[in-house]
C-alpha cells in the first residue's frame, strides 16, 4: 500500500516537472529529470534524447539519442545497453557530484556515468552535435566536459566523433554492434581505429580481425579507394603523440549521414533521404570476398576478377600446394628463393591494398630512399613504401613481419617494395656471364627434359594400368575395377578417390527412401554417412538412362577440375558394374529453392544474406565461364541447383549437363535441349543455341526470384499475363521497382542495393544474348556504385498457363505482338 501511495506521489511530481523538460531546452539540472515519454531536444533541433524500446513484444526500455528528423527508430547512441528498464517507470537525472544516472521504479541505479571530478552545479546537456555531456554550470569554459557520450560510442559514428585512442588517458573509443536489430546490448562485432604499428581501421568479430580498411595514406584508407573528400563529406586521421583517431565531417551540412556497424558485421556509411524517409546505404566498408581479412594468407594477393581469387605474389609460391588447389588459401605463400640478409634488394609491386600494418614502423619525415636504406639494414624488415602518397610521396612505412592481407585494386592501388633475394632480382651487369652459362647449360637442360619426359611417360602408363583411379584425362571408358576392395585410393594430380559400392550402400542405408534428399538430373540423390561419421550426398545415376554414362563422365571430368568456394565439392565417385555414382559434400541447409519460395523460411534470408548469395552464385558462375583451362556452361542453373552451406553461402551444384570447351570455343548448337522451364534463355529453348550468355540469362532469372521471392515459372498477376521477367520489366519502366521486392526485404538501409540487383537481373535477361553482360561485368556492376546501362526488353516475358502443359510465348517486339512458340520434347525433370 505504502509503495502504491509513494508511486502516486512520484507520478504527481513527474507532471509538475514535465514542463521543465519535455520538448524544452537542451539542458537538464539537478532539479529536473526525464521519464518515459519526455525528451530533450538539442539547441538547434537536430538531435533528441529520450526513452525508446525495440521489437513489438519487448518490454525493455532504453535511453537513447536519435536524429529528430529520423525518429527513435534508429538511435545513434544508447545509454543502458546492457541494463534495460523493464517497465515504463525509468527516470534519468543528474546527480550532485556530476553524474547522470538512470534509476528504476525502486530507485535502484540501473546505469550511470562516471567522473573523477566533483562539481557544485552539474548540468547535463544534449549538444547539437549529438553529444550528451555533463559539465559544471559555473565553469566559464563550456567545452570542459566532466563526461561525454562521444567517449562511449554505441554502433554509430557521428560527425565529429573520434574513433580511436587517447594515448594520454588510454581511453579507446570504438563502435560495438548491437546484438540484434532489436537488442542494443553489445554484439559480436567491433570497429576500431587500431593504434598498433601504423594506425588502420579494423573490424573485429569477438576479438578476431575480420576486415581491415588498410593504413591511411594521406588521402584515404589504402583499401578504400572511393572514400575520399568530396562535396558531401570529408575524412581525416590524426596521429600524434597524444592521440590517434579517425573522424569525418559533413561538407554539406544539410546532408545527414552516419557510419554504422550492423549486428551481423557489416559496417557502412548511410545517408538519410528525406523524401523517402529512409536511410540508404552509401558505401560499405567491406565490399567483396577480397575484403575478408587474410583470405589469401601471407604473401598471397586477392583479385576479385581472377579465379581463383587468391594468387601468390610474383616470386612466391603456395606454402601447401594441396591446400591451395582445394581453395584453402589460409596457409599462404612462401618465397621461391629464401632471403639472404646481406645481399638482398627489393621488387616493386603496384596496384595493391597495403598489407596489415599492425606489425610495422613509420617515420613521417623520411624520404623513400632513406626508407629503403633503413629497411635494408634491418634483416627482419620485409617491405617498405611511402607513408603519404600526396605530392609524389613522403614519409616511410616499413613492415617487420610477413605481409598479410594484400589485395589487388583495379583503381588507385598503391606501390610497395618487397624485400627479395638478390638472385630473384637478376642483375643487369652480368648478362655476359649468363650467356656463357646458358651456352653450356642449355643443351644439357634439353637432354634432361627429354629424359624426364620419357621416364614420366613410362611411369604414367604403368600407373594407369595398376590403379582404378579416375584421372581428368579420362580413363572412365572401358576398364573397370580389378581392385574392388580398395575403396578409397588417393593419388596425386587431379585424381579422385574411388568409393566401392558396398561402402556407399552401407552409408545410405541401402539407398533407402528415408535417405533420399532429392532428384537431380539423371539420377537420385541420397544422404549418406561414411564410417568415420562424415556426411555425404550420393548421386546415383539412374541405370536405365541411355545418356547416363556420357553425362556421368562429363560431370566427373568437369567437377574434378573445378574447385571453388561457390561450387559443390566432389569428394569421389563409384563405378561398379551398372552402378555409377558421385559422392559430394553434404550441405545441411539444402537448396535455395526451399528458402526463397517458402512462406516461413524466407524470413531466414535477410537482404545481406540474399545479396551474399547473389554474389556467390555470380562468382561461382564466373569461375565456370572463365576458367583459363576449361570453359563450362552450366545449362541448368536454377534455385534448386544452388545449395546453401551452414552459413548460407551458396554453392552451385549439378554439373550433369555442363559442357566443357577447350580454347576459345564459346558456344555450340545442340540436338538435345536440356534445362528447366523458366530459366532457359529464348535462343537456347527455341533454337538450341547455348553459350555463356544462356547461363547469364538463368542467373538473371535467379536474381529476380531471389529479390522478389516469387518463381518466374507459374508467376501469376491479376492485372496481366506477364511472367516475373515481364512484370519486373514493366515495373522498371514505370519506376515502381520497389513493388517487386519481397516485403521481407523492405528495410530501407538496403534499398539501393536491392534495386541495383534488380537492375542487374534485368540486364541479364535481355532478349538479345549480346546485350547481356558477362559474369565478370555482373560482379563489377553488383559491387560498384557506378551508373548502369538501361536494360532492353527481356526474353520470354509472357506466359500463359494451360493446366499442366508448359507453354511459353516469346515476343520479339512488344507484349502485344505475341509470337507463340511451344517447346516440346524435353528431358523432363
Ligand atoms: C568510467 O566507466 C568506464 C566503463 O564503465 C571505465 O572504462 C572508465 O575507466 C571509468 N572512468 C572513470 C574515470 O572512472
Ligand atoms: C579467433 O581466432 C582463433 C585463432 O585463429 C580461433 O581459434 C578462434 O576460434 C577465433 N574466434 C572466433 C570468434 O572466430
Ligand atoms: C579533407 O578534408 C579535411 C577537412 O576539410 C581536410 O582537413 C583534409 O586535409 C582533406 N584531405 C585531403 C586529402 O584533401
Ligand atoms: C547540399 O545537399 C542538398 C541536399 O542534397 C542539396 O540540395 C544542396 O544543393 C547541397 N548544397 C551544396 C552546396 O552542395
Ligand atoms: C649470402 O650472401 C653473402 C654475401 O653476398 C654470401 O657470402 C653468402 O654465401 C650468401 N649465403 C647464402 C646462403 O646464399
Ligand atoms: C624520422 O627520421 C628523421 C630523419 O631521419 C629523424 O630526424 C627523426 O628523428 C625520425 N623521427 C622519428 C620519430 O623517429
Ligand atoms: C629491426 O626493426 C625492429 C622494429 O623496429 C626492431 O625491433 C629490431 O630490433 C630491428 N632489428 C635490427 C637488427 O636492427
Indicate the top mutation candidate among 375, 384, 399, 400 to test ligand 7's pocket, ranked by most ligand atoms within 8 A of CB: 400
Decide: 110 and 85 in contact? Cβ < 8 Å. Answer: yes
Beta strands in 324-458 (DSSP E): 333-335, 345-353, 360-363, 383-385, 396-399, 406-408, 414-420
Amino acid 120: pLDDT:
85
338 lines ligand 5 (CB under 6 A): no
Report the separation in Å between the CA atom of 131 and the middle of ligand 4, taken as the mean of its atom positions. 25
Cα-based angle 683, 687, 693 (whole degrees, multiple of 5): 30
- Candidates 584, 812, 575; CA nearest to 687 is 812
How far apart CA 132 and CA 426 sit, in angstroms, is: 62
Dist. CA 187–CA 209, nearest whole Å = 15
| Distance from C-alpha of 756 to C-alpha of 93, rounded to nearest angstrom | 47
**CA-nearest residue, atom 11 of ligand 4:** 252
Low-confidence spans in the chain with pLDDT less than 50: 1, 11-13, 15-24, 427-438, 440, 457-494, 545, 547, 628, 659-672, 800-829
Q: Which residues pair with 221 in a beta bridge?
A: 216
Catalytically annotated residues? 636
Q: Name the helix (H) or strand (E) containing 561.
A: helix 548-561
How far apart are the two ends of the chain, measured CA to CA in Å? 74
325 CB-side CA count, 13 A: 9
pLDDT value at residue 448: 60
**Residue 524 pLDDT:** 82
| Ordered structural domains, the chain, with CATH | 20-150 (2.90.10.10), 153-287 (2.90.10), 290-425 (no CATH), 480-586 (3.30.200.20), 595-829 (1.10.510.10)
Asked if 48 contacts 42 with a C-beta cutoff of 8 angstroms, the reply is yes
Contact 723, 712 (CB under 8 A): yes
Residue 315 gets the label, from left (phi > 0), alpha (psi -120 to 50) or beta, of: left
Residue linked to cell 584453402:
328
Note the ligand closest to the C-alpha atom of 389. Answer: 3
Instruction: Give the residue ranges of the annotated binding site for ATP.
Output: 539
The answer to whether the pTM exceeds 0.85 is no
- List CB contacts of 322: < 8 A, sequence separation 6 or more: none
CA-to-CA distance for 765 and 758, rounded, in angstroms? 11
Nearest-angstrom CA–CA distance, 739 and 707: 11
51 and 90 in contact (C-beta within 8 Å)? yes
Q: What is the pLDDT of residue 426?
A: 64
Q: What is the pLDDT of residue 787?
A: 83
Q: How many CA atoms lie within 13 A of 691 on its CB side?
A: 16
Look at residue 625 and give its three-state secondary structure: helix
| pLDDT for residue 437 | 47
Whole-angstrom CA distances from 518 to 331, 639, 688 are 36, 13, 27
Beta bridge partners of 365: none
Backbone torsion region of residue 294, taken as left when φ is above 0, otherwise alpha when ψ lies between -120 and 50, otherwise beta = left
- The DSSP 8-state label assigned to residue 232 in this structure reads S
Asked if 577 and 670 touch (Cβ cutoff 8 Å), the reply is: no
Q: What distance in angstroms lies between residue 198's CA and the mean position of ligand 3's atoms?
A: 19
- CB-CB contact of 258 with 242 (8 Å): no
Task: Give me the DSSP letters along 752-779.
Answer: HHHHHHHHHHHHHTBSSGGGSPPHHHHH
Contact 215, 354 (CB under 8 A): yes
- What would the grid cell of residue 156 be? 554509430
Determine the Cα–Cα distance for residues 85 and 79; give it in Å rounded to an integer: 11
Any atom of ligand 5 within 6 Å of the Cβ of 588 = no
Which stretches of 562-674 are assigned E, i.e. beta strand? 570-576, 579-585, 631-633, 642-644, 650-652, 659-661, 667-669
Backbone angles phi, psi at 430, to 5 degrees: -110, 35
Query: Would you say the C-alpha torsion 614, 620, 626, 631 has a positive or negative sign?
Result: negative
User: How big, in percent rounded to 5, are the helix, strand and coil portions of the chain?
Assistant: 25, 30, 45
Question: Where does ligand 3 bind, in terms of residues with CB under 6 Å?
Answer: 219, 229, 234, 236, 249
Task: Indicate the DSSP class of residue 824.
Answer: -
H helices present in 99-223, as ranges:
none
Contact of 706 with 595, CB cutoff 8 Å: no
Enumerate residues 6+ apart whose C-beta is below 8 A from 89.
Answer: 7, 35, 36, 104, 105
Do 342 and 423 contact (CB within 8 A), yes or no? no
Say if residue 543 is exposed, middle or buried (CB neighbours under 10 Å; 0-12, 13-18, 19+).
exposed
CB atoms within 10 A of CB 654: 26
Q: Which three cell numbers stand for residue 516?
A: 533420399
Strand order in the sheet with 257-261: 156-157, 257-261, 267-273, 278-284
Residue ID of nearest Cα to ligand 6 atom 11? 363
Cβ–ligand 5 distance for 443 under 6 Å, the answer no
**Torsion over CA: 368, 369, 370, 374 (sign):** positive
Cα(152) to centroid(ligand 1), Å: 10
- Angle at alpha carbon of residue 657, lines to 656 and 659, rounded to 5°: 115
- Is the Cβ–Cβ distance between 632 and 625 less than 8 Å? yes
* Ligand nearest to the backbone CA of 80: 1
pLDDT, tens digit (0-9, with 9 covering 90-100), for 249-270: 999 898 899 999 998 888 988 8
Q: Which ligand is nearest to the CA of 376?
A: 7
Per-residue pLDDT tens digits for 262-313: 988 889 888 887 776 778 778 888 877 888 999 999 999 998 777 788 999 9
The answer to whether the peptide bond before residue 308 is cis (omega within 30 degrees of 0) is yes
Q: State residue 282's pLDDT score.
A: 80
Q: What is the pLDDT of residue 572?
A: 84
pLDDT at 495: 61
Cβ contacts of 633 within 8 Å, gap of 6 or more: 624, 625, 658, 659, 661, 667, 690, 691, 692, 694, 695
Residue 585's contacts (CB-CB under 8 Å, 6 or more residues apart) are 536, 537, 568, 569, 571
Output the ligand 6 site: residues, CB below 6 A: 363, 365-366, 370
**Pairwise CA distance, residues 69 & 275, whole Å:** 12
Question: Which residue, among 171, 174, 146, has the nearest Cα to 161 in the 3D structure?
Answer: 174
* Beta-sheet strands, E only, within 149-308: 156-157, 163-166, 172-173, 175-180, 183-194, 200-205, 208-215, 233-239, 243-250, 257-261, 267-273, 278-284, 300-302
Asked whether the beta carbons of 699 and 765 are under 8 A apart, the reply is no
Q: Whose CA is nearest to atom 8 of ligand 1?
A: 114
Sorted by sequence, the CB contacts under 8 Å of residue 431 that are 6+ apart come out as none
Q: Indicate which residue's Cα is closest to atom 5 of ligand 5.
A: 343
Amino acid at each position: 500500500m505504502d509503495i502504491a501511495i509513494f508511486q502516486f506521489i512520484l507520478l504527481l511530481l513527474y507532471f509538475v516537472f514535465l514542463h521543465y523538460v519535455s520538448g524544452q531546452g537542451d539542458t537538464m539540472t539537478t532539479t529536473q529529470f526525464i521519464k518515459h515519454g519526455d525528451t530533450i531536444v538539442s539547441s538547434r533541433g537536430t538531435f533528441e534524447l529520450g526513452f525508446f524500446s525495440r521489437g513489438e513484444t519487448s518490454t525493455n526500455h532504453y535511453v537513447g539519442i536519435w536524429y529528430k528528423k529520423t525518429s527513435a527508430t534508429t538511435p545513434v547512441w544508447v545509454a543502458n545497453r546492457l541494463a534495460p528498464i523493464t517497465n515504463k517507470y525509468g527516470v534519468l537525472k543528474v546527480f550532485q557530484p556530476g553524474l547522470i544516472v538512470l534509476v528504476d521504479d525502486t530507485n535502484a541505479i540501473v546505469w550511470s556515468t562516471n567522473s573523477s571530478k566533483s562539481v557544485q552545479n552539474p548540468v547535463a546537456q544534449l549538444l547539437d552535435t549529438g553529444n550528451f555531456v555533463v559539465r559544471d554550470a559555473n565553469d566559464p569554459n563550456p567545452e570542459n566536459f566532466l563526461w561525454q557520450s562521444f567517449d562511449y560510442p554505441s554502433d554509430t559514428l557521428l560527425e565529429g566523433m573520434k574513433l580511436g585512442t587517447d594515448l594520454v588517458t588510454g581511453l579507446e573509443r570504438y563502435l560495438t554492434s548491437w546484438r540484434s536489430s532489436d537488442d542494443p546490448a553489445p554484439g559480436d562485432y567491433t570497429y576500431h581505429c587500431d593504434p598498433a604499428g601504423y594506425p588502420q581501421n579494423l573490424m573485429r568479430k569477438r576479438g578476431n580481425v575480420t576486415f581491415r580498411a588498410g593504413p591511411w595514406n594521406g588521402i584515404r584508407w589504402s583499401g578504400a579507394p572511393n572514400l575520399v573528400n568530396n562535396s558531401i563529406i570529408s575524412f581525416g586521421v590524426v596521429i600524434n603523440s597524444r592521440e590517434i583517431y579517425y573522424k569525418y565531417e559533413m561538407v554539406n551540412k544539410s546532408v545527414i549521414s552516419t557510419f554504422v556497424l550492423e549486428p551481423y558485421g557489416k559496417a557502412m556509411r548511410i545517408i538519410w533521404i528525406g523524401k523517402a524517409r529512409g536511410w540508404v546505404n552509401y558505401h560499405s566498408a567491406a565490399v567483396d570476398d577480397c575484403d575478408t581479412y587474410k583470405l589469401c594468407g601471407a604473401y598471397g594477393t586477392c583479385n576479385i576478377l581472377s579465379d581463383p581469387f587468391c594468387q601468390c605474389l610474383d616470386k612466391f609460391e603456395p606454402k601447401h600446394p594441396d591446400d591451395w588447389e582445394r581453395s584453402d588459401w589460409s596457409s599462404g605463400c612462401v618465397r621461391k628463393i629464401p632471403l639472404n640478409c646481406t645481399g638482398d634488394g627489393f621488387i616493386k609491386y603496384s596496384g595493391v591494398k597495403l598489407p596489415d600494418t599492425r606489425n610495422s614502423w613509420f617515420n613521417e619525415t623520411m624520404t623513400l630512399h632513406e626508407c629503403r636504406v633503413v629497411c635494408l639494414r634491418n634483416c627482419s624488415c620485409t617491405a617498405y613504401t611511402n607513408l603519404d602518397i600526396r605530392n609524389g610521396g613522403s614519409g616511410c612505412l616499413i613492415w617487420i613481419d610477413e605481409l598479410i592481407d594484400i589485395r589487388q585494386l583495379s583503381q588507385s592501388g598503391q606501390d610497395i617494395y618487397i624485400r627479395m633475394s638478390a638472385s630473384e632480382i637478376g642483375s643487369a651487369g652480368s648478362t655476359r656471364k649468363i650467356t656463357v652459362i646458358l651456352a653450356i647449360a642449355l643443351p644439357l637442360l634439353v637432354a634432361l627434359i627429354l629424359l624426364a619426359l620419357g621416364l614420366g611417360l613410362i611411369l604414367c602408363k604403368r600407373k594407369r594400368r595398376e590403379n582404378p583411379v579416375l584421372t581428368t584425362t579420362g580413363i572412365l571408358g572401358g576398364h573397370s575395377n580389378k581392385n574392388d576392395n580398395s575403396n578409397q585410393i588417393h593419388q596425386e594430380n587431379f585424381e579422385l578417390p574411388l568409393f566401392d559400392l558396398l561402402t556407399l550402400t552401407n552409408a545410405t542405408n541401402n539407398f533407402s527412401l528415408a535417405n533420399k534428399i532429392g532428384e537431380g538430373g539423371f539420377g537420385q540423390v541420397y544422404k549418406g554417412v561414411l564410417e568415420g561419421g562424415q556426411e555425404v550426398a550420393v548421386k546415383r545415376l539412374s541405370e536405365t538412362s541411355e545418356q547416363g554414362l556420357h553425362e556421368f563422365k562429363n560431370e566427373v571430368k568437369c567437377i574434378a577440375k573445378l574447385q571453388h568456394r561457390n561450387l559443390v565439392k566432389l569428394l569421389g565417385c563409384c563405378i561398379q558394374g551398372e552402378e555409377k555414382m558421385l559422392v559430394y559434400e553434404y550441405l545441411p541447409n539444402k537448396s535455395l529453392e526451399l528458402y526463397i519460395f517458402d512462406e516461413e523460411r524466407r524470413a531466414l534470408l535477410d537482404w545481406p544474406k540474399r545479396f551474399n548469395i547473389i554474389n556467390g552464385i555470380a562468382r561461382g558462375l564466373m569461375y565456370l565461364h572463365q576458367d583459363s583451362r576449361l570453359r563450362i556452361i552450366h545449362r541448368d542453373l536454377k534455385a534448386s541447383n544452388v545449395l546453401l552451406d551452414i552459413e548460407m553461402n551458396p554453392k552451385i551444384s549439378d554439373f550433369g549437363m555442363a559442357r566443357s570447351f577447350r580454347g576459345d570455343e564459346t558456344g555450340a548448337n545442340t540436338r538435345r535441349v536440356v534445362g528447366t522451364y523458366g530459366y532457359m534463355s529464348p535462343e537456347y529453348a527455341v533454337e538450341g543455341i547455348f553459350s555463356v550468355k544462356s547461363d547469364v540469362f538463368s542467373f538473371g532469372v535467379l536474381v529476380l526470384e531471389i529479390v522478389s521471392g516469387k518463381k518466374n515459372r507459374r508467376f501469376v498477376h491479376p492485372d496481366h499475363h506477364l511472367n516475373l521477367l515481364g512484370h519486373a520489366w514493366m515495373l522498371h519502366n514505370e519506376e515502381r521497382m520497389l513493388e517487386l521486392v519481397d516485403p521481407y526485404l523492405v528495410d530501407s538501409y538496403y534499398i539501393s542495393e536491392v534495386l541495383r540487383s534488380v537492375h542487374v537481373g534485368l540486364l541479364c535477361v535481355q532478349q538479345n544474348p549480346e546485350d547481356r553482360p558477362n559474369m565478370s561485368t555482373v560482379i563489377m556492376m553488383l559491387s560498384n556504385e557506378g551508373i548502369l546501362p538501361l536494360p532492353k526488353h527481356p526474353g520470354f516475358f509472357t506466359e500463359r498457363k494451360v493446366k499442366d502443359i508448359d507453354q511459353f510465348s516469346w515476343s520479339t517486339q512488344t507484349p502485344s505482338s505475341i509470337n507463340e512458340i511451344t517447346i516440346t520434347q524435353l528431358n523432363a525433370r
